[in-house]
C-alpha cells in the first residue's frame, strides 16, 4: 500500500530532534544479568542509548503527536506504548529497516496516560531498557460519524461510476486538516481524487473523473482521538468497502425529448421522454450531471410550495421512480404523457417515460449512475442532491484542505 498515506510530514525532523534533546529514564545495560565489563585487552563496548519523544512525564501532549523512539549505538529489540489510564490497549508502530528508529501509528486517546517501554541491544549484546511516560491533552467533547455513504442499507455496496463518498458528522468540526489527514481512500487501481467540505459537518470525496468500472474501494475514517476543534476529539473510527459496477451513463435532452443509455460505451436503451414544461422556473427540469440517488417502486409526489385547496396543487402516486435531485426530480413512469414523450415537454419538472421504459430503467440502474440532462435554462445546483459533478475540478479543490491525491492500493 503506497499511494495516499496521510500524516505529518514532520516525522523525520521530530525524530532528529528526539535524538538530540529527548530525555529518558531508567536506562540500564545488562548482559546475562550483569553489567557488561571490559576485557583486559579491549575497551568496554558502549551501551546503546535509547531516546524517547515526547519527553518523560510530558503533559498535555496533542493526540496526533507521533511517539518516536531511537537507539544510538545499537538496535531496538522491542517498543511498547501502553495506555495505563483513561484508555485501553497499545499504540501500534513501525520499525525502520535498520532497526534504529520506531514511530507510532494512529492516534492516542485524549485525556489518557501512556507508558513507553523500549529495549535495545548493542553490537556486543548488552541490553538497554528504557521507560518513560506522558499524558495527552484532555478532551472536553467528542464528535462522531453520523452518516457514511455508500452503505449497505442506503445505496448497496455496488454503485455507479459517479458515486461520491459522503461523510456527515454529528456536530460542527473546525480542524479540517487533522480530519482530512486521517481519511484514507484505498482502491484496486490508482485514482486521482480529493475531499471537499460543503460545510462544517459534511466532507465528501470524488475522483477527478468518473470512477473506472469494476474498481474496488475501501474508505477508512481513522478518527478515534483525532482533533476536530478546540477540546473536540473523534470518538471512534469507521470504514466501508464498496465496489464500482459497470459504467452506465444516461444522456437526455429536453429539446430532443430523448434519453440514451450507454453501458460500457455501448447503447443499450433508447427512451422517448417528456421533461419539465417550464413557464414557472420550478417547472423546468434541471440541466447538468445528476446521479441516481434512490430507486423506489412507488413514490407519492406533491406540488412544491403549494398546499391543498390552492390553484395548481396536486398529489400523485407514481411508479418505478429513480430520484435525480433534492428538488423533487425523478425519472418515472408516466402513462398519462406517453403521447407527448418524444415530442414535447409537459411535466412539472420530472422526466416522464413510458411504464415499460421506467420499469427497465429502475431495474437496470445503480445508485450513483450518472444521468446527464441538457438543454434546460435551469442548471442543477451543486448542492441540489448529489450535484458533485457540477463543480469543475478547480472548484472542487477550492474547498479541500489537502487538495488532490492518488488513492492507495486496496
Q: Which residues are catalytic?
A: 332, 350
Dihedral through CA 357, CA 358, CA 362, CA 363, nearest 10? -40
- The region, left, alpha or beta by phi > 0 then psi within -120 to 50, assigned to residue 135 is beta
What DSSP element (H or E) covers 357?
helix 355-363
Q: What are phi and psi of 374, to 5 degrees?
A: -130, 165
Which residue, chain included where needed, has cell 436503451?
269
The span from the CA of 302 to the CA of 290, in Å, is: 21
Q: Which of 330, 304, 310, 327 is nearest to 318 (CA)?
A: 330
User: What is the grid cell recorded at 329?
Assistant: 426530480
| Sheet of 330-333, strands arranged across | 294-302, 315-323, 330-333, 351-353
Neighbours of 174 (CB within 10 A): 12
- Chain-centre distance of CA 207, in angstroms? 12
C-beta of residue 213 within 8 angstroms of C-beta of residue 245 = yes
- Chain-centre distance of CA 379, in angstroms? 28
- Chain-centre distance of CA 356, in angstroms? 38
Which residue, chain included where needed, has cell 541490553?
127
What is the DSSP-derived secondary structure letter of residue 65? P
Angle at 351 between CA 247 and CA 293, to 5 degrees: 50
C-beta of residue 133 within 8 angstroms of C-beta of residue 118 = no
The set of residues, in sequence order, having a beta carbon less than 8 Å from that of 217 and lying 6+ positions away, is: 165, 185, 186, 187, 188, 211, 241, 242, 243, 244, 407, 410
Can the peptide bond before residue 150 be classed as cis, meaning omega within 30 degrees of 0?
A: yes
The span from the CA of 350 to the CA of 357, in Å, is: 15
Please state the length of the chain. 410
Amino acid at each position: 500500500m503506497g499511494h495516499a498515506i496521510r500524516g505529518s510530514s514532520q516525522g523525520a525532523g521530530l525524530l532528529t530532534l528526539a535524538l538530540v534533546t529527548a530525555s529518558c529514564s531508567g536506562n540500564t545495560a545488562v548482559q546475562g544479568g550483569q553489567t557488561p565489563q571490559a576485557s583486559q585487552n579491549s575497551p568496554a563496548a558502549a551501551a546503546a542509548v535509547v531516546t524517547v519523544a515526547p519527553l518523560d512525564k510530558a503533559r498535555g501532549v496533542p493526540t496526533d503527536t507521533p511517539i518516536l523512539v531511537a537507539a544510538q549505538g545499537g538496535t531496538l529489540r522491542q517498543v511498547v506504548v501502553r495506555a495505563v489510564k483513561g484508555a485501553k490497549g497499545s499504540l501500534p508502530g513501525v520499525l525502520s529497516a535498520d532497526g534504529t528508529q520506531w514511530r507510532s501509528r494512529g492516534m492516542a486517546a485524549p485525556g489518557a496516560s501512556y507508558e513507553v517501554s523500549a529495549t535495545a541491544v548493542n553490537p556486543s549484546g548488552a541490553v538497554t531498557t528504557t521507560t518513560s511516560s506522558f499524558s495527552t491533552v484532555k478532551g472536553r467533547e467528542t464528535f462522531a460519524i453520523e452518516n457514511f455513504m455508500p452503505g449497505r442499507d442506503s445505496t448497496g455496496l455496488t454503485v455507479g461510476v459517479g458515486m461520491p463518498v459522503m461523510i456527515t458528522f454529528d456536530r460542527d468540526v473546525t480542524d479540517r486538516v487533522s480530519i482530512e489527514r486521517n481519511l484514507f481512500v484505498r482502491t484496486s487501481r490508482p485514482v486521482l481524487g480529493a475531499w471537499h467540505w460543503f460545510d462544517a459537518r459534511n466532507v465528501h470525496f470524488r475522483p477527478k473523473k468518473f470512477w473506472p468500472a469494476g474498481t474496488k474501494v475501501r474508505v477508512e475514517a481513522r478518527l478515534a482521538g483525532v482533533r476536530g476543534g478546540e477540546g473536540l476529539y473523534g470518538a471512534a473510527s469507521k470504514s466501508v468497502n464498496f465496489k464500482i459496477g459497470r459504467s452506465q451513463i444516461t444522456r437526455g435532452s429536453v429539446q430532443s425529448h430523448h434519453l440514451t443509455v450507454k453501458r460500457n460505451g455501448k447503447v443499450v436503451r433508447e427512451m422517448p421522454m417528456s421533461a419539465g414544461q417550464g413557464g414557472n422556473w420550478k417547472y423546468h427540469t434541471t440541466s447538468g450531471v445528476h446521479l441516481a440517488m434512490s430507486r423506489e417502486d412507488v413514490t407519492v409526489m406533491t406540488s412544491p410550495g403549494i398546499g391543498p385547496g390552492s390553484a395548481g396543487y396536486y398529489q400523485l402516486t407514481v411508479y418505478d421512480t429513480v430520484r435525480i435531485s433534492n428538488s423533487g426530480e425523478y425519472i418515472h413512469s408516466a402513462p398519462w404523457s406517453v403521447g407527448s414523450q418524444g415530442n414535447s415537454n409537459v411535466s412539472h419538472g420530472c422526466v416522464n417515460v413510458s411504464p415499460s421504459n421506467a420499469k427497465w430503467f429502475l431495474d437496470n440502474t445503480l445508485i450513483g449512475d450518472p444521468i446527464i440532462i441538457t438543454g434546460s435554462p435551469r442548471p442543477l445546483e451543486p448542492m441540489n442532491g448529489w450535484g458533485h459533478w457540477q463543480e469543475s475540478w478547480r472548484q472542487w479543490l477550492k474547498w479541500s484542505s489537502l487538495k488532490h491525491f492518488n488513492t492507495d492500493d486496496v
